Each structure stands twice: as structure tokens, then as C-alpha cells.
Amino acid sequence: MKFPAFLKKDTVLALLFLAPSVGGFALFYAIPFAMGLVYSFMDGTMDGNFVGLANYKELMASGSFRKAAWNTALFTSVSVPLMVAISLGLALFLNGNVFFRQWLRTAYILPLVVPVASIVLIWQIGFDWNGTVNEWLHRFGIQRIDWMKSEWAIVVITAIYIWKNIGYNMILFLAGVQAIPESYYEIARLEGAGPFTKLRITLVYLIPTMFFVVLMSIMNSFKVFREAYLLAGGYPHDSIYMLQHYMNNMFLSLDIQKLTAAASLMVGCIMIIALGLFRMERGFRRFME
């Protein structure tokens, strides 16, 4: 007598090991998000009535939401390409025979293990009105800049984002570069290929890794709220007022309908981006095969 596949011993053991993680994910992520999605179509959380897309229409009419959405989209579209380009360049640089290569690799990884509060404290010391950077500017006769209360705030947040996450992306690219068979480069050398041809070979075989790095960088760009909030508070300069600021302020004012509608839209956009990247990666794999 044959048992169904889901009753096999290996399957049962696998399900038992997965049960705590799946249960925790469902309890703290999936179920609350499903409840929030339902609330976004209601006019209240207690005995509310179904109002369809009324909350979303009100959300789209909000100037604060549009500003937050635009800032988030702008930040992601600028910081992610910068992150990918810099981390890829560092990975190619550290893959060669560089002096103190192991020490440099470790140095780029250190920001990943430093708590966010400590990171913010370091950058506050640097970019406060009486901070280190302004002190240097003053010594060279340059006027001080109120970094977090001017258009320079977005530059500071972008620098923090890159500094915090560049090590992780660099390690992923470095692993991808080292996984490329050396025979490809040997064949290219025998055919008289130059450095640009070798770089093109590297980039082609790094595309699957690049898809993953881009996806993770986009995810991390939506988490920059922590740094921005600790540096500039809940109502920062307009240039760094992100979607997370908007949702945090809606939570503090107990406007649950706008909060859940904004969260649902943000998750929907992230899912569309992720699905698009996965589809592009599958298409590339089929092309390479």
C-alpha cells in the first residue's frame, strides 16, 4: 500500500522542522498583513462598513502621501544603481591581488554587524551643525551647512544607506565572480581578448547574482526609515520624508485606514518589482541555456 507523498516520513519530518518558522511568519507577518488589507477597505476597525476603494482614493488625494511616495521612489531609483555599481566595482577590485585584501573585506563587512543606533550616533557626530564635517568646512573658510534640515539631507541618507549595505552586496558579487570558471578567461586570453572583453564575460555571468543583489538592495532601501527617523525625527526635511514616515505618523494619529491602505500599496509595488525581476531572471536563464 502506497501512502500519499505528503504522508511520507521525509515530508512529515520536513513539515515538523518548518512548522515553527511557518507559524511565526503567519502569526507576526501574514495574518496581520491580511487583517490590514481587509481594514484598508473598511471605514473603521471596529464594526466598520465596507467602503471599497474610498480609502485608497482619499490616500491618493493626500499631498503628504504623494510627497512620501515620490521621495521613496526617487531614493530607490538613485541609491540602488549607485549601490550596485559601487559594490560591483569593489568586488572586482578585491578579487585581484590587492594589498591587505582580507583586511579590506572585513572592513566593508563591519557596518553590517553594527547596531543602527550606533551607526546613527556616528553620523550625527559627523553631520551635526557643530559636527566634524562642518568643523572641517569652517577651517577651510566654507560656510557651515545644516545637513539634516536642507536639501543635503537626502545625500546624507543615501551615503548612510550605501555605507551600511555595501559590504553585503560586495560579498555576493565576490562570490559570484569567484564562481566563474577560469577556463572562460583562458579561452578569451588565447583569442587575444582585451580587458573589456574579460569584463563583459564577467558581467554576463554575474547577471543572476545581479538580479538578487538588485532585489535585496530595493528591499533594504525601504528600510532606510530607521536611520532617517533617528537622525531627523518623525517630520524630517521634505527631501527625506519617506513612505515609512507617512505610515508611522498615521499610526501615531490612529488613522488606521490610511495606514493600511498605504502599507498595502507599498507591498503591492514591492511584489510587482520582485515578480518582474524574477521573470527577467528566468528569461535570462532560458536564453543562456
Task: Compute the distance between CA of residue 59 and CA of residue 43 in angstroms, rounded to an integer.
Answer: 13
Return the pLDDT at 86.
92
Can you tell me which residue has the cell 502506497? 2
Q: Which whole-number Å values give the CA distances from 202 to 12, 191, 280, in the listed order?
A: 42, 16, 19
Tens digit of each residue's pLDDT (9 = 90 or more) over 161-188: 988 888 888 888 988 888 888 887 777 7
Tens digit of each residue's pLDDT (9 = 90 or more) over 23-74: 888 888 888 889 888 888 988 777 778 888 898 999 899 889 999 999 999 9
Tens digit of each residue's pLDDT (9 = 90 or more) over 66-85: 999 999 999 999 999 999 99
What 155-158 contacts at long range (C-beta under 8 Å, 24+ apart), as own/partner pairs, is: 156/123, 156/127, 156/231, 157/75, 157/224, 157/227, 157/228, 157/231, 157/240, 158/75, 158/78, 158/79, 158/82
Give the whole-number percent of the chain exceeding pLDDT 90.
14
Return the pLDDT at 1.
47
Tens digit of each residue's pLDDT (9 = 90 or more) over 220-276: 888 888 888 888 877 888 888 999 889 988 988 888 888 899 999 998 988 898 888
Q: Domains in the chain, start-ordered, CATH in brackets?
A: 19-52 (no CATH), 63-288 (1.10.3720.10)
Task: Compute the distance between CA of residue 41 and CA of residue 257 in angstroms, rounded to an integer.
Answer: 8
Q: DSSP secondary structure string, 130-152?
A: TSHHHHHHHHTTPPP--GGGSTT
Q: Is the entire prediction scored with pTM above 0.85?
A: no
Q: Is residue 80 within 8 Å of 90, Cβ to Cβ? A: no
Residue 115 burial (CB count, 10 A): 8
